[in-house]
Chains A and B, each alone.
Chain A
Amino acid sequence: MKALLELSNVGMKFDTPKGQFEALKDVNLKIDSGEFVSLIGHSGCGKSTVLNIVAGLLQATDGGVILDKHEVTEPGPERAVVFQNHSLLPWLTAFENVELAVKQVFRKTKSKAEIRDWVEHNLELVHMAHAMHKKPDEISGGMKQRVGIARALAMQPQVLLMDEPFGALDALTRAHLQDSLMEIHAQLGTTVIMITHDVDEAVLLSDRIVMMTNGPSATIGEILEVTVPRSRDRLALADDPTFVRCRQQVLQFLYEKQRKVEPLPRRNSAKAEANRKRA
């Protein structure tokens, strides 16, 4: 079977005042239709760069991305993005935010009534029907992110791209949204690429976890198949041996193989030096 999305030898070099900086090198990845793939790695490893290249917001300097036989050259609604900080237009209600996207994508194919129904349907899907006429300022962070997901889903994307969608939320809200996302994924079979920092989240949600090495010249280190059958329940999984093993493997990759040593800030190290001398 041919993969839906294919990244081949993707590389990214940025020009900086100090010369060229190679952020990504030789990223190769094939994603099948309906798959849920997480990208995990330490901050600064280029996960977001990979996602932005797939989204078309950045252009790879080497290699390329092919989605359903078409090369990705620019952003588009078939690769809808859920941004980390919701990115809703603050002057529009939840309904109007989703409507803007729906009108843009289905202007020619749906009637006015169909557009309204489709907007409402997607807001219901993320359990936001009760607050659809509220503005982003009037709803909580979790609710905003739900609307952001509804907006992306409403575009009926071939791939849903999520850039740390739950990173800014508290643990309880995050759990609720993860459950919602699993429910939606089961229902719609959307292909998802999600960036995350959270090992539990990656294991709970993904079919495959793509682990990235540290930059510069970051690339894919390992890919882990999460064979835990769906539907998955967070409580039951806590003791599931497969789940625990997967979690272990991701943790090992992140904290043993790719341990990130942040250089101490100068002033602190000077102070530490002074302390050591005194001792």
Chain B
Amino acid sequence: MVTLTFPTWMEPYRALATGKMTGEQWQTLLRQLIWPVLGMAVFLLLWQLAAQRIDTSLGQFPGPADVWEQAGTLVDEHQATRAKEEAFHERQEKYIASRLEQQPEWEPVYRDYTGAPTFFDQIGTSLITVMSGFLLASVIAIPLGIFIGLSNTAHAAMNPLIQLFKPVSPLAWLPLVTMVVSAVYVSDDPLVAKSFLTSMFTVTLCCLWPTLMNTAVGVTSVSQDLTNVSKVLRLNALSHVGKIVLPSALPMMFTGLRLSLGIAWMVLIAAEMLAQNPGLGKFVWDEFQNGSSQSLGRIMVAVIVIGLIGFLLDRLMLMLQRALVWDKSSVQR
């Protein structure tokens, strides 16, 4: 005999199916399902009503139905491009094979497919860029934050700089980063594109600060009692940092990392738009320049996807935080 066990959050739905609902389960159902769905429905309705009243030079502002349709089109386009790409590779293989038969000494030249990136390619590019920029920022910010937190001298020396650069908008960095990357990153066979580096460094420069500040504060606020324990145990500097300081600062550090990733995602889209670097930002900009009757709908799809990805990235950090941080009360929703 098989017994099905339900996770606790599914309990109200099971009760609903069997017709045995308690008052509390109704409350849970309302909170988890009915209110959110209702909120979404009201939003879609207001959107539809408002969209009908806005006429732009590119036609009527897209309502939910138009956007849904465009989302479908984008998927179709993506699949069509993939099919074309496959066909291209097949043709190339055949051509090379036949030519090799006639001229065995010929060195075959393989070419990549050069079609325009689809919406989904742009999503992939943006995700890789944001994660690279974020990781680079974390690798710099965490050790630096620990150092600043531990040393009053370092804090005094670096605090003015941090305060100065923290509020700088990504758009101000972008021209500088572009020029520096162009000047410094000169290679005949580049490993990665310059545009990728420009976007990544801009993201890094902007999302460095929350992690840096929060790590430093976390390290500074290690309780005096725990520091005394470390002294009584005569832990050396390395064990002191590894066993006392780092775990103490971890909750604050994660708060910083989550903020940083959120900023990284926002900055990236702006940077891609301005610099015409591949990614979702470029997709939005291209559609805007394109100015067809479907453009606004396609941009709206991008807006929703950007929001969704931002949300998922935040959830990812939250899961990581839940798994790694000892102080569960520090993990907010």
Interface residues of A (CB under 8 A from B): 55-57, 74-77, 79-81, 83, 85, 87, 89-91, 100-101, 104-105, 135, 155
Which residues of chain A are within 8 angstroms of B225 by Cβ–Cβ distance? 83, 85, 87
CA A79 to CA B232, docked complex, whole Å: 8
CB–CB A80/B232 < 8 A = yes
CB–CB A81/B326 < 8 A = no
Which residues of chain A are within 8 angstroms of B244 by Cβ–Cβ distance? 89
CB–CB B243/A87 < 8 A = no
CB-based nearest B residue for A105: B233
CB–CB A81/B234 < 8 A = no
B231 contacts the other chain (CB 8 A): yes
B235 contacts the other chain (CB 8 A): yes
Which residues of chain A are within 8 angstroms of B239 by Cβ–Cβ distance? 104
- Residue pairs across A and B with Cβ atoms less than 8 A apart, 21 shown, are A56-B231, A57-B228, A57-B231, A74-B234, A75-B231, A75-B234, A76-B234, A77-B234, A81-B228, A83-B225, A83-B228, A85-B225, A87-B225, A87-B228, A87-B229, A89-B243, A90-B326, A91-B327, A104-B233, A104-B234, A104-B239
Q: Tell me which of B232, B235, B247, B250 contacts A81 (CB under 8 A).
A: B232
CA A90 to CA B231, docked complex, whole Å: 17
The 0/1 profile, CB within 8 Å of A marked 1, for residues 206-233 of chain B is 0000000000000000010110110111
- How many cross-chain pairs have Cβ atoms below 8 Å apart between A and B? 51
Which residues of chain A are within 8 angstroms of B229 by Cβ–Cβ distance? 81, 83, 87, 89
Q: Tell me which of B223, B226, B232, B250 contacts A75 (CB under 8 A).
A: B232
CA A278 to CA B144, docked complex, whole Å: 64
CB–CB B235/A104 < 8 A = yes
With A89-B226, A89-B247 as known contacts, state yes or no: A77 contacts B327, CB within 8 Å: no
B-side interface mostly: helix
B213 nearest CB across to chain A (Å): 22
CB-based nearest A residue for B325: A91
Most buried by A among B223, B225, B226, B233: B233
A-side interface mostly: loop
B104 nearest CB across to chain A (Å): 66
CB-based nearest A residue for B243: A100
Which residues of chain B are within 8 angstroms of A105 by Cβ–Cβ distance? 233
CA A75 to CA B244, docked complex, whole Å: 17
Which residues of chain A are within 8 angstroms of B327 by Cβ–Cβ distance? 90-91
B239 nearest CB across to chain A (Å): 8
Which residues of chain B are within 8 angstroms of A74 by Cβ–Cβ distance? 231, 234
A58 nearest CB across to chain B (Å): 11
CA A71 to CA B223, docked complex, whole Å: 28
Which residues of chain B are within 8 angstroms of A76 by Cβ–Cβ distance? 232, 234
B324 nearest CB across to chain A (Å): 10
B303 nearest CB across to chain A (Å): 41
CB–CB B226/A77 < 8 A = no
With A87-B226, A89-B247 as known contacts, state yes or no: A100 contacts B231, CB within 8 Å: no
